[in-house]
Every structure is written in structure tokens, then in C-alpha cells.
Structure 1
Amino acid sequence: MLKCGQVFHWPAFLFGESFIGLHVSSQLKKLHEIIDPVAEEMGYEIVRIAMVNSATGGDVTLQIMAERPDGTMLIEDCEKLSREISVIMDVEDPIAGEYVLEVSTPGVDRPLTRRKDFENYTGYEAKIELSVPEDGRRRYRGLLQGVTDDLVQIKVDGEVYAVDFDNIHRAKLVLTDELLAAASRKQ
């Protein structure tokens, strides 16, 4: 099944080796090894790969979020990438059993999974959740201030916090008027 649009929930496990998150399954690493080169050859960047089980325990969905290097992604791009990924997945057969393939854009209130995401969205509001609390704190909501070395800077209530990129469990942009205005300028 092909969907090109936003995905609004966080799956149980996600991200590849070069993405945030401490615990990466070997299956997701294998999927990145298969899918990333296909996407790159076509001029796309993978933002996130996730395997999500349905609430009823039936179908498994392979969710792939991708974009062009300029941050855009059209429905036609999703369709092209989906067709190519389908071919390579049929050949490699890395998932036991049946699954649904879902290729989408990251959406406006996108997940932040790569260091460059935190840089590209400096000045925008984000939510960050850590795997392990730092200085007694696990969650942050504030304005991104960029990345220095492996530390993501986020300004919360006037104070700037530096959190270890490798300790980020999940992060996403917060849907604000400023973010919507910036997204509409991109189109």
C-alpha cells in the first residue's frame, strides 16, 4: 500500500545506525543497508525507517520517510521510490511474512533523526525525549539552537540545554504558525 503524507505516531522502534536512538535492531540495520543506497541513487534521503505492528496484531507496516536533499518530496517522488524499494525488497526478502510498504514524506511536524535536521531547523520549536535522563531531566520542549560537536542545543524557558545526540530517544518539530509559514514558503 502506498501512502504519501504525514505519519503522526511514534513506532515501537526506529532509526538506523546513523540516526538517533541507542537500541537499533539488526533487522532495521539490514533494511537501511538495502534501502538507503536505492534512495540515494534516486536522489532521495531516508529520514526514518520503522516497522510497526498493527494494533490488532495482524499486518506489519514498513514505514519509510524520505525527502529530497532540499527537504521537499512530491507524491510522484513517493510513488517512484516505492516502486524501486518494492523491487529490491522482493529480491532481498529481508522481512519474514507479509507486510505493507508505506513511503511518505516526513510532514511539517517531522521527526528529527539526523544531526543535520537539528541544524536545518534551528530556531524552530521541538520536543526532545532522552533515553537516559541528563541532570535529572528526560524531556525538553523549546527552540532548537543548533548542534555543537555531538550536543544538540535547545532553549527552554530562557535556559539553553546541551543534550547528547546519541542519548536522544526521539525528537520532533512542534507544529507552530512559524513552522507552517516556513513550510508554505518551500512549496
Structure 2
Amino acid sequence: MAGKQSQLEALIRPVIESLGYQLWGIEFKSQGKNSMLRIYIDTLEKDKGIQLEDCEVVSRQISGVLDVEDPITEEYTLEVSSPGVDRQLFSLEQYVAWAGAEVNVRLRIPFEGRRRYKGIVKGVEDQDVVLIVDDHELLLPIESIDKAQVIPRFD
């Protein structure tokens, strides 16, 4: 699956960046007729959010590239979305940028008997995400993280 992610990223990142957006992340769920390719985009301007029209523009452009290159041979639905306030973190750079944020983390395989953690992102060491959980520092290899989602704060 990592190979498919890399291939998709190589195809669509230049398209998204040429339109003036940032590729935040890619999710591909292969489920037969219900397969889904979800692309998260963000704006480079901190005071401006992603609007529906932004998603439509990016979707049309990406759709054309995917139709020509055909990296996914099965039927799928393409969805382009904003990462939102409860954004998922995909890369080490994003963990660094979101240091101090509270996150829910789901691991691919259990670590210390658990697959789910809630904690504060401290940062990154090499290829590991440093997470503070109940005053304990955990080093979680980025490849072991299935999903990490920011818990929004409204204060």
C-alpha cells in the first residue's frame, strides 16, 4: 500500500501545488466497488480556509490526471476535502508543525498492549513520533501509526 501511496502522491502533488494549494494527505481504501480515494488539500495562506470551490477545482484537475495515468485499476470514488480542524496527521513534518496538539492515535499493531493512545505531540526523533501519554514519553515509529487525528480545541 505504501507503494500505491507514493505513486499517487507523485502524480497529484505537482497538480495540487500548481493550483496554489498544499497536499495535506492521501487516503486510499480498497473495498471493491466501494473503494475511495480521499485527497486532503490545504491552503498556503494561514488566514484562509479551504472552500467547496477549491475542492471542486482540484478534483477536476486530479481526475483528469488519474484518468490518463490510470494508477488505480478498480472502480473508486474520488473525494477532495479540507483536512478540517480535526485534521489527520500524515507526515513527520506535520507532527513537528503540530507539536503541542492533543491527538488520538491508532496503531497498526499493539504497542505495550494497546493500539489506541490519546496524548500530546512533543515532536519527532528520527522516524519516530514523540507522544506524551499520562506523563510518559512514547516513541512511536511513523510506519506503525495507522491514523493520528488532532483533537480540536476551542478556547
Partner of 1:60: 35
Deviations 1:47-91 (A, max 9, x none): 22223356xx53433211111235642222212111111221222
In the alignment, the residues of structure 1 paired with residue 74 and residue 145 of structure 2 have an alpha-carbon distance, to the nearest angstrom, of: 31
Mapped to 1, the partners of 2:126 and 2:89 lie a distance apart of 17
Q: Distance in 1 between matches of 2:54 and 2:64?
A: 16
Match of 1:151 in 2: 128
SS at match of 1:77: helix
Change over 3 Å in CA distance of 1:167–1:53 after alignment to 2: closer
RMSD: 2.4
User: Where does residue 104 of structure 2 map in the other structure?
Assistant: 127
**1:40 correspondence with 2:20:** no
Match of 2:92 among 102, 111, 115: 115
Task: Return the match for 2:138 from 161, 173, 186.
Answer: 161
**Residues 1:93 and 2:70 aligned together:** yes
Partner amino acid, structure 1, of 2:18:
E
Residue 30 of structure 1 corresponds to which residue in structure 2?
7
Q: 2:144, 2:94 → 1: CA distance?
A: 16
Give aligned pairs, total. Answer: 153
Q: What TM-score, normalized by structure 2, do the two folds share?
A: 0.81
- TM-score of the superposed pair, with normalisation by structure 1: 0.69
Please list every run of 5 or more consecutive structure 2 residues that lacks an aligned counterpart in the other structure.
none
Distance apart, 1:109 and its partner CA: 0.9
Cα distance, 1:112 vs. partner? 0.8
- Cα drift, residue 136 of structure 1: 4.4
> Which structure has more strand as a fraction of its residues?
2
Q: For structure 1, which runs of at least 5 residues remain unmatched after alignment? A: 1-22, 182-187
Q: For residues 169 and 155 of structure 1, what CA distance do their matches in structure 2 show?
A: 18
Note if contact 2:33-2:75 (Cα within 8 Å) is conserved in structure 1. no
- % identity of equivalent residues: 36
